Amino acid sequence: MDEEQEKRALALQVLNSAPPAALLREPVDYIFADHFRQRTLCRVLDEIADETGWDLEKVEAANRFLGEDFALHIADEEEDLFPLLQRRTGPEEEIGDFIDQLCEDHERNGADADRIRGSLTMVLEQGGADLPAQDFRDLLRRFSADEKRHLIFENAIILPFARARLTADDLKNFGKRMAARRGLDYPAPEKTC
C-alpha cells in the first residue's frame, strides 16, 4: 500500500469511527476528538472537489458523517457546551458574542452540509455516473474553509475556557447528555487496583 492509499484508508477509518465511548467521561476531550474528525472531513471534501471522478467510498463516508456525526456535534455544543460556558463565565470575558458567532456558523454550515448531503446522496444513487459540477466543487471548498476556521476558533478559545471553567458536575452531566444523544450508556469509571 503506497502513502496515498494509506492516507485514504486512515481518513475513511477516522470518518467512520466515533471516538471511544469511554471518552464521554471527558466530554471536552470528546469534542476535541470530534474536531479532528471534522478536519478529516474537510480534507476529504477538498479531495472530492479536486478529483476528476468520484471515489464512492469517500463520498459515502463524508455523506454519513455529515448526516449523523456532524449534527450530533452541533447539538453537543449548542444544547450543552455553550450554555454551560455562558453560565460559568463572567460578562467581562465577553464569551457570549463569540458563542453567538459560532451558532451563526453552525446555522450556515448546517445549511451547506444539507446541500452537500443532497448532492452526495444523488451521486451514490447514480453510482457516480456524472462528474462533479463546478458549483458543487466550489461549495465543498467553501464549506471546508469555513469549517476549518470555525474549528480553529473553537480549539483555541472555547475548549480552553471549558477546561478552565466547567465544574466536575458540569462535565459529568454534559457527558451523560452526549451519551444519551448517541443512544449510549454513560461509561462507568475505570476500576483502579
pLDDT at position 89, please? 87
Q: Residue 169: helix, strand or coil by DSSP?
A: helix
pLDDT in tens, the chain (193 residues): 799 899 999 999 999 999 999 999 999 999 999 999 999 999 999 999 998 888 999 999 999 999 999 999 999 999 999 999 999 988 887 888 889 999 999 999 999 999 999 999 999 998 877 777 889 999 999 999 999 999 999 999 999 999 999 999 999 999 999 999 999 999 988 776 6
Q: How many domains does the chain have?
A: 1
Give me the CATH number covering residue 71: 1.20.120.520
Residue 58 falls inside a structural domain: yes
Residue 2 falls inside a structural domain: no
Residue 192 falls inside a structural domain: no
Lookup result for grid cell 474536531: 35
Residue 168 falls inside a structural domain: yes
Torsion of CA 99, 35, 157, 146, to 10 degrees: -60
Lookup result for grid cell 453567538: 100
- Neighbour-count burial of 37, counting CB atoms closer than 10 A to its CB (0-12 exposed, 13-18 middle, 19+ buried): buried
Residue 188 falls inside a structural domain: no
Residue 64 falls inside a structural domain: yes
Give the DSSP per-residue string, 103-150: HHHHHHHHHHHHHHHHHHHHHHHTTT-SPPPHHHHHHHHHHHHHHHHH
Dist CA 109 CA 125 (whole Å): 24
Cα Rg for the chain, rounded, in angstroms?
A: 18
Residue 90 falls inside a structural domain: yes
pLDDT at position 90, please? 82
Q: Residue 68: helix, strand or coil by DSSP?
A: coil
Question: What is the residue range of 124's domain?
Answer: 8-181
Dist CA 114 CA 122 (whole Å): 12
Handedness of CA 175, 176, 178, 183 (dihedral sign): positive
Residue 187 falls inside a structural domain: no
pLDDT at position 192, please? 67
C-alpha dist (Å) from residue 27 to 21, 37, 86:
10, 15, 17
